[in-house]
Structure 1
Amino acid sequence: MVIDHINIYLGNVLHLPLWVSLLGRFVAPLFIFFIIEGFYYTHSRQKYFLRLFVGGVLMYGINLLSNILMNNTTNPYTKQFDVFYLFQGQNIFMTLALVLLWIWILDTMIVNHLHIARYTMLIIALVVIMPFIIISEGGPYELVMGLIFYLFRGNFKRISMGVTIFSILLFVHALMTYFGQVEVGSLYQTLTFDDEYMMITVLPFIYLYNGQRGGNGQKWQKNLFYYFYPIHLIIIYILSNIF
């Protein structure tokens, strides 16, 4: 993850090769995998969601401040202020929170015998949340991964098939982008830019998962990522502005 973020913001300065972007494509799917695992293991799904959601709101604030201070609020095409660019930046917290909420609602519909009125309300909730997932960081891809990990949980063979098929479709899409459009660069440039097909590299890590919690259960280990994620991005944002 750190390498991926360094590549995004400092890759040109460090003259990193284009293939570096491929190295981190397993990270977000692995986060999603453990979000689904956490969905079943957590003592409170509500607190689990709120931790991620609050982290997402915090990251929006950090991105907002960073873009204002660095004057990254102008659309490079229209040369005008764009509110979307005001909040641009990394925010996997919000993606994880929204995917968790979507899966939670879906699970409620599948597991429980609901009255038609509540069932309808939950379907509406799924539809309402969908656009927010689509515009979140990697949202469409991670939602598909979340569905695969949720529906096939505990069955590595089916998870492998689902992830492989999805990755092949994304690879075909990348090829279609290259062969179907003009001035998109070389095939190498296209495949290292439209590179979500490399999410297939998450499979070895899932295979090695033994279903046990890592570490010794201390609170700092549980909360480490919640602190590390924003801190390392703040440092990278500052370095990006300096260089």
Structure 2
Amino acid sequence: MKIIGIIFMVIDHINIYLGGVLHLPLWVSLLGRFVAPLFIFFIIEGFYYTHSRQKYFWRLFIGGVLMYGINLLRNILTHNTTNPYTKQFDIFYLFQGQNIFMTLALVLLWIWILDTIIVNRLHVTNYFMLIIALIVIISFILISEGGPYELVMGLIFYLCRGNFKRISVGVMTFSLLLFVHALMSYFGQVDVGTLYQTLTFDDEYMMITVLPFIYLYNGQRGGSGQKWQKNLFYYFYPIHLIIIYILSTIF
């Protein structure tokens, strides 16, 4: 499933950065919407199966910091540091770019703290401090890649873990709300293009396509268990983005 996710992730990133050059149809953007929710699903599963949650978090967090560095370098070299609306330097544009590592790390940390609050009997002071931590982390998740959507999906997968019917209801309900939001964007505003253009741009409702993959998940680790398979995503993610970033600059 991770290999399938990686393949469609590459297609999605090619579409984002090279879609115009390659004249890809707008519907290509719909193909990869299941990828981030799928990796969020595996983050929740990994939360329970990993031998060390701390090491799991730090691997993702360090990967996120690395991606910030790659995005920073790219934006400086391409002079992509100015807000197009204010025409002023914007630190958020300085670090903008793909960084699912940081999103996964933050969602994992948020779920970890939430699980600690729910499962453990803590002193009231500790409860208060952890709740403050949850609120603070949310602010960082909201500005991370796909953060608001992936936080909701993470909550659904965590709260409904092991019950596909409940997961389906949660995912379908959230996707329906996002679809309604997309329709409201089309009918409630002027100069937003055609309905087709709107639904292929505001397309997060297609996260519903993650459900067949979750249904097929059997709780077992895929592959042969070799170390390179475990670490494939950590190496492949930054390398493929560097290549796509370079190609997008050339073309």
Equivalence for 1:227: 235
- Runs (4+) of structure 1 exceeding 6 A deviation are none
Equivalence for 2:148: 140
Residue 79 of structure 1: CA displacement?
2.0
Query: Which residue, 60, 82, 94 being the options, matches 1:52?
Result: 60
Please state if 1:73 is matched with 2:42.
no
- The residue matched to 2:61 in structure 1 has which SS? helix
Query: Which residue, 206, 210, 216 being the options, matches 1:208?
Result: 216
Equivalence for 2:135: 127
- TM-score, scaled relative to structure 2: 0.96
Give matches, 1:1-243, under 5 Å.
Answer: 1-243=9-251
In structure 2, what is the Cα distance between the partners aligned to 1:135 and 1:71? 21
2:27 alignment partner AA? W
Residue 74 of structure 1: CA displacement?
1.4
1:86 alignment partner AA? L
Residue 242 of structure 1: CA displacement?
0.1
CA displacement, residues 100-136 of structure 1 (integer Å, 9 cap, x when unaligned): 0000000000000111000010000000111100000
- The residue matched to 2:68 in structure 1 has which SS? helix
CA displacement, residues 193-223 of structure 1 (integer Å, 9 cap, x when unaligned): 0000000000000000010001111111110
CA displacement, residues 31-89 of structure 1 (integer Å, 9 cap, x when unaligned): 00000000000000000000000000000000000011111111122222211110000
1:139 alignment partner AA? G
Q: Percent of counterpart pairs with the same letter?
A: 89
2:55 alignment partner AA? K
How many residue pairs were aligned?
Answer: 243
2:35 alignment partner AA? V
2:196 alignment partner AA? Y
RMSD across aligned positions (CA): 0.5
- The residue matched to 2:172 in structure 1 has which SS? helix
In structure 1, what is the Cα distance between the partners aligned to 2:53 and 2:224? 22
In structure 1, what is the Cα distance between the partners aligned to 2:221 and 2:155? 22
